[in-house]
Structure 1
Amino acid sequence: MEDDFNGNTYLPFTELIRLEKVDERTFRSRAIPFAPGGQLGQRRTYGGHVFMQAAWAASQTIGDGFLLHHISGNFILPGLVNIPFVYKVHIIRDGRSYATRIVNVTQAQEKGICFTCTCSFKRPETSPLEVQERLDIWKQYSTVLDGKHPADFDEIPGMDVPWYWKRRKETGTNDQFPGLEMRKVEMEKYNSQRHPLDRRQLMFYRTLGDLKSDPNLHLCAHLYASDRNSLFIVANHFEVGDIYTQMGSLVHSVTFHGDAKDALFGPSTHTDSPLDDQNGRWFAKEDWGSRMSGGRTMFHSRLFSANGTHIATVLQDGMIRVTKKPTASDEEVQMLEKRAAEWKPRTKL
């Protein structure tokens, strides 16, 4: 099993997220998780796998009518590809409107907790005040989207870094990603004349297979998408995707907004947007980085439905190291200063 990466295969989302119930508040994963790069990667599992399954485990202990609205998770140890995750749910509070759970996750018992998260659930409510920045994706990013449909773009690379792009071009192979169909927009025309802080990456995604009607299941699918290639994107925007020495998620948080019906997957009967599709509606993911310092970086993402509704906000504190030691060498400093000197000026405040 040590060299078995058969989690890198197309698998319906309902099979990917499936948990085995050990007791009333303990669950065990069934599907083998995706490992970016397979045999050529870092031999670590995709963080979105444990993130969404922890939320799903928590939702099994929640009363009817409560929907996930926020989750914040700390990645403590790298996930192993050949050992199931065990999810222990702790009940913190059950209120009339809100409920809170903490989920601690282990694999090898002697190594302790590998991931922990706090999940907040709430009952739906209406409000006369509804304010958001409604984004017309095709108008905002017309330079790269005009005349395009989500399926026109290539699948997201298993590892979104230069060496993997080169290998994919030479061999035509890419890691199969379970659970979701995810497409990456070619952003060169939009990003080439922008400062790294102004660069953006768009992705489109929908589930593999149909989902049951449980809204929390649909929300977990968005959680699974939220972490896809996140730090790779930031590294590429700051032009260190070919030289980083270490990378990993530290804290990943997702907040859902508005009515859960806007976040439901499934066939669309509308044709108002290119994201509407009778074979399964697409959602858009807009990603960028806002900070890089001290071996860490900030990743941002917004998730949008076909009609431009902002359904979720993602924020990640991640580790991207670009030096071999805690103190950079003179050579490393000069190389990075040279790259930064070639960046375009900011295009907006």
Structure 2
Amino acid sequence: MPSIEEILAVERIDDDIYRGGVFPSGLRRTFGGQVAGQALISATKTVDPNFAVHSLHGYFLRPGKTDRPAVFLVDRIRDGRSFITRRVTGVQDGEAIFSMSASFHIVGDEGIEHQDRMPSAVTPEELPDDAHTMSEAQRSLFAEWENFDVRIVPRDQLVPVPGLAAQQRVWFRYRDRLPDDQLLHVCTLAYMSDMTLLGSSKTPHPEARTQTASLDHAMWFLRPFRTDDWLLYDQTSPSAGAGRALTQGRIFDRSGAMVAAVTQEGLTRSNVPADQVSIMKGGQ
């Protein structure tokens, strides 16, 4: 499988126009994290390095074709003294498949500070490498992420928070060492953040047969981090209904620092043909 650096290495084809690569895939549609990561790296190429991305808001408009490149068109919406805004449209065959707004904040601003406490969780070393415990069908799905070590905390080892409808915790990291480039780690986390989050909505319904797809994705980057070190993805799904589920995630590093927050709504449609049912291992 390609490295994350290869996936994020978009090609400049004209002013504010970039093209992503095509990579082998067993999925019916392009993985949403890949589209989001390539869109974000395209936006950063139009921004002064004294500004760092702090948020993104994206909509998955059409399924991406895995055998064709996506072209990313960047609009320079605003260049201010403290904030910069970019809009990116991902296009295949003349049709928009993804739309994203990204905001960048001047590096060095100061203000009040606080954060939630990291929830209790077994350490990643106490969990098996899921790559060795999957069924053949699940292994085929997760082969898309073989460069990532993803370990879902089993239900019998989860310390639940009372009153929450659906909960899941996942440790994940990139398996190989990455360069000391925070921008690369930010775009890598944008890719990783789509992994397993929608699966948190399935935890109260383990036997449900559903068709799933990401509909929109919002993310806030709060503190520096490394994606080649373990990160805890604390996931909840506060509501599901009408064929959609709302999911939320808080991402912590091993020291307990909250480094990012994610909100996503996804399709969770029931009564679908068997060949459209999503395969999940505790989450997807």
What's the counterpart of residue 129 of structure 2? 154
- Seen in structure 2, the aligned counterparts of structure 1 residues 230 and 241 have a Cα distance that, compared at 3 Å, is farther
What's the counterpart of residue 241 of structure 2? 293
2:80 to 95, 108, 119: 95
Q: Does 1:284 align with 2:227?
A: no
Q: Is the 8 A contact 2:43 2:102 kept in 1?
A: yes
* Separation of aligned partners in 2, 1:219 and 1:195: 32
What's the counterpart of residue 216 of structure 2? 251
Q: Does 1:84 align with 2:84?
A: no
Q: Is the 8 A contact 1:78 1:114 kept in 2?
A: yes
* Separation of aligned partners in 1, 2:161 and 2:131: 22
Q: Which amino acid aligns with 1:189?
A: D
Q: Is the 8 A contact 2:160 2:167 kept in 1?
A: no
Q: Which amino acid aligns with 2:75?
A: H
Q: Which amino acid aligns with 2:129?
A: D
TM-score scaled by structure 2? Answer: 0.85
* Separation of aligned partners in 2, 1:25 and 1:151: 46
2:102 to 119, 130, 133: 119
* Separation of aligned partners in 1, 2:147 and 2:117: 25
Give 1:252-331 correspondences, 5 Å limit: 252-257=217-222, 259-260=223-224, 263-265=225-227, 280-323=228-271
- Alpha-carbon deviations, 1:298-324, whole Å to 9, x = none? 011111111101111100111111245
CA-based RMSD: 2.9
Q: Does 1:233 align with 2:200?
A: yes
What's the counterpart of residue 68 of structure 1? 53
Kindly state the Cα deviation for residue 188 of structure 1 after the two structures are TM-superposed: 1.9
Higher strand share: 2
Q: Is the 8 A contact 1:282 1:305 kept in 2?
A: yes
Structure 1 unaligned regions, length at least 5: 1-8, 158-163, 266-279, 326-349
- Seen in structure 2, the aligned counterparts of structure 1 residues 83 and 281 have a Cα distance that, compared at 3 Å, is same
Which one is further off, 316-325 or 72-81? 316-325
* Separation of aligned partners in 2, 1:250 and 1:196: 26
* Separation of aligned partners in 2, 1:65 and 1:127: 15
What's the counterpart of residue 26 of structure 1? 17
- Alpha-carbon deviations, 1:46-69, whole Å to 9, x = none? 100001110000000001211110
Larger Rg: 1
TM-score scaled by structure 1? Answer: 0.70
Structure 2 unaligned regions, length at least 5: 274-284
* Separation of aligned partners in 2, 1:174 and 1:76: 22
* Separation of aligned partners in 2, 1:227 and 1:44: 14
Q: Which amino acid aligns with 1:248?
A: A
Kindly state the Cα deviation for residue 173 of structure 1 after the two structures are TM-superposed: 6.3
Q: Is the 8 A contact 2:22 2:66 kept in 1?
A: no
Q: Is the 8 A contact 1:12 1:208 kept in 2?
A: no
Q: Is the 8 A contact 1:12 1:178 kept in 2?
A: no
Kindly state the Cα deviation for residue 31 of structure 1 after the two structures are TM-superposed: 4.1
How many residues were matched structurally? 273
Kindly state the Cα deviation for residue 87 of structure 1 after the two structures are TM-superposed: 0.5
- Seen in structure 2, the aligned counterparts of structure 1 residues 49 and 179 have a Cα distance that, compared at 3 Å, is farther
SS at match of 1:153: coil
Q: Is the 8 A contact 1:205 1:283 kept in 2?
A: yes
* Separation of aligned partners in 2, 1:219 and 1:298: 23
- Alpha-carbon deviations, 1:288-345, whole Å to 9, x = none? 21101111110111111111011111001111112459xxxxxxxxxxxxxxxxxxxx
- Seen in structure 2, the aligned counterparts of structure 1 residues 62 and 295 have a Cα distance that, compared at 3 Å, is same
